[in-house]
């Protein structure tokens, strides 16, 4: 697989998905944009959330402890816009599924494959950010990658957020489970 081309494809798909999201929800204050995958790296999907959607969900849930508040704020599976306008990622997912199947029996090759997929996801978001896509949002929105596999998600999130965000945004994100922001 050509990882540089994959990163460009990811950037293009993310631009399309996030552009549609922002166009349809202009009145919302977005605080996070992510790309997530599964434990086998068969898929890459976009996810985002806004303060309005987060606060609405929490008011429907009623009182919550600080850990629950942080979970609902930062777990992309709980976001209002998980997989929103994800069809631009379909061709990428087909390629990843085939490539994952090719290495699934070889632990070393599969580990390298996962690392390369995660790097391409980070690079895709980096390309999008370097093109100025997130310029209007950079002071308040965090970018990161994550996984539906809980065991690897936090490390992926922290590592990618450190690379993709200004230091002050990263520091707030890094402390996300220590206190609600």
What would the pLDDT profile of 163-179 be if each residue is shown by its tens digit?
Answer: 999 999 999 999 998 85
Structural domain includes residue 115:
yes
Can you give the residue range of the structural domain that contains 165? 3-174
* pLDDT, position 44: 98
Instruction: Let me know if 158 is exposed, middle or buried by CB neighbors in 10 A (0-12, 13-18, 19+).
Output: middle
In the prediction, which pLDDT does 58 show?
94
* Tens-place pLDDT, residues 45-68: 999 999 999 999 999 988 788 889
The pLDDT score that the predictor gives to residue 177 is 87
Residue-by-residue DSSP string for the chain: --HHHHHHHHHHHHHHHHHHHHHHTTTS-EEEEEEEE-TT---EEEEEEEHHHHHHHHHHH----HHHHHHHHH-GGGSTTTTTT-GGGHHHHHHHHHHHHHHTT-HHHHHHHHHHHHHHHHHHHHHHHHTTTTGGGTTT-EEEEEESSHHHHHHHHHHHHHHHS-HHHHHHHHTTTTS--
Q: Is 180 inside a domain boundary? A: no
pLDDT tier at 181, thresholds 50, 70, 90: very low
**pTM, to two decimals:** 0.94
- Please report whether residue 45 resides in a domain: yes
For residues 151 and 86, the model is more confident at 86
Q: Which residue has better confidence, 51 or 138?
A: 51
Residue 178's contacts (CB-CB under 8 Å, 6 or more residues apart) are none
Determine the pLDDT at residue 138: 78
Q: Other C-beta atoms within 10 Å of 155: how many?
A: 11
> Is 159 a domain residue?
yes
Q: Domains in the chain: how many in total?
A: 1
Q: What is the pLDDT of residue 179?
A: 56
Question: Is residue 181 in a domain?
Answer: no
Q: Report yes or no on 166 lying in a domain.
A: yes
pLDDT band of 140, cuts 50, 70, 90: confident
């Amino acid at each position: 697989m050509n990882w540089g081309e994959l990163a460009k494809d990811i950037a293009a798909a993310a631009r399309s998905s996030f552009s549609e999201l922002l166009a349809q929800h202009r009145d919302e204050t977005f605080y996070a944009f992510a790309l997530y995958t599964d434990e086998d790296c068969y898929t890459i999907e976009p996810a985002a959330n806004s303060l309005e959607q987060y606060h609405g969900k929490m008011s429907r849930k009623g009182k919550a402890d600080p850990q629950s508040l942080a979970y609902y704020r930062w777990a992309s599976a709980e976001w209002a816009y998980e997989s929103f306008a994800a069809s631009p990622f379909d061709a990428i997912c087909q390629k990843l599924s085939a490539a994952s199947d090719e290495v699934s029996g070889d632990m070393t090759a599969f580990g390298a494959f996962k690392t390369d997929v995660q790097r391409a996801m980070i690079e895709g978001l980096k390309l999008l950010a370097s093109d100025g896509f997130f310029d209007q949002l950079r002071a308040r929105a965090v970018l990161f990658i994550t996984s539906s596999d809980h065991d690897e998600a936090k490390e992926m999130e922290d590592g990618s957020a450190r690379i993709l965000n200004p230091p002050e945004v990263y520091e707030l994100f890094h402390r996300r489970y220590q206190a609600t922001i």
